[in-house]
Amino acid sequence: MPKPDLDPLLASAAGRFGTPAYVYVTDAIDTRLADLRATLGQWFALSYAMKCNPNPALLSWLEPRVDLIDVSSGGEFALACAAGWAPDRASFTGPAKRDAEVQATIAAGLGELVLESLREAQAANRIAAALGRVQPVLIRLAPDRVPKGFGDHMAGRPSPFGIDIEDAPEILPQILALPHLRVIGLHIYSGTQCLKPAAIAENWRIFLQIFRDTCAAQGLTPQKLVFGSGLGIPYHPGDTPLSLPDIAADIGPDLSAFRSEPRFAQTKLVLELGRFLVGEAGYFVTRVISTKASRGSRLAICDGGMNAHLAASGNFGMVLRRNYVMHKVGGGIGEEKVDLSGPLCTSIDKIGGGVLLPPLAEGDLIALHTSGAYGPTASPLHFISHPTPREILAEGGQLRDVTRIAPALPTPG
């Protein structure tokens, strides 16, 4: 549940800027960063995977606080640079990079191109040669297994991401031989949204062994090795938040032993993470437009639904739909079960089913927690042309409208 002083902030954001709205609380991100550095900072630098939330104001706020940034398109690279990130602090991942994107990012001074295939490496080599450059690259590897406990697997089965580890002995020498690419390290991101410390530690041990074996086989002394974090956040009632100290206690000795090996003594280890950094700092605030009874159920119809928050509707990679943690802003007396839907003309536009909340009335505000990642840009904002959500940055209690995508209709000033 929210801190006692959060509801006035959320109500103020809704009153000043309209709903639906995302509110990003930077104090919560600062706390998360401090926890990460206190527990894992002795081993890792931090990289922000901006795909989870590319709001330009948030990117600018993060720039002095996070070491590196990962982009997954030429558009994201341009957004990051416009927000103040130096090009050489960026890595560029993604399984279908277009030649024009590769050309533009290399020409701009991209830090590392993350290679996902031999074809991509050959194309990058040709482009770098035409530019008269030697481009630093990381090779993304796909392990042959991912431990149980991860919400999404990007390895261990057929996948567009990276080079399968069993194919690496044949492919990597060909990449290493390309004259306009300089292989400075390796990258693995094999699973996401894990809430089990033991599974995360096991996954990183898989990474460590792959890094050891691959570097030894290819005679590579890496400057950088990227660990896809996989750190999850508690979206649903009953989810147990991750314990960073438990992760550090489990994997710390392995990381220290790895860093003591001569080949890796000067290697920068990078922890790439997105939702774990910003997800729990965001709240989605939607207003009840009307309520009704229907065949024994109570319904509340809200001004923001699947169009503004696809993930909360259960239609963004969720196999079985589960409610997000949510609350009625301002609270109330008693509880009743209510189904929450959005404004769209489709039966799948639901943001809550059988949720226990104080009785709702027209005009009430509902806040969905853990909404700081995969929000507006991961949602079908233009379906049925409802107003797009506002984005509000809350810095030390001060609210600022940082909406990236202009609303379709006027909202309160």
Which are the catalytic amino acids? Answer: 345
What single-letter DSSP state applies at residue 194?
Answer: B
Count of alpha carbons within 13 angstroms of residue 286, beta-carbon side: 31
Residue 231 in tokens? 């750190």
Label residue 232 exposed, middle or buried (CB < 10 Å: 0-12, 13-18, 19+). buried
Q: Where are the beta strands (DSSP E) in 51-134?
A: 68-71, 90-92, 112-115
- Looking up tokens 């890792």 gives 44
- Looking up tokens 């074809």 gives 119
Rounded distance between C-alpha atoms, residue 275 and residue 86, angstroms: 22
Paired sense of beta strands 112-115 and 135-142, if any: parallel
Q: Are 51 and 273 in contact (CB under 8 A)?
A: no
What single-letter DSSP state applies at residue 371?
Answer: -
Rounded distance between C-alpha atoms, residue 84 and residue 63, angstroms: 7
Alpha-helix residue ranges (DSSP H) falling in 219-367: 244-260, 275-278
Rounded distance between C-alpha atoms, residue 373 and residue 393, angstroms: 14
Phi and psi dihedrals of 104, rounded to 5?
-65, -40
- Looking up tokens 């860093």 gives 259
Q: Are 402 and 56 in contact (CB under 8 A)?
A: yes
Q: How many CB atoms lie within 10 A of CB 177?
A: 10
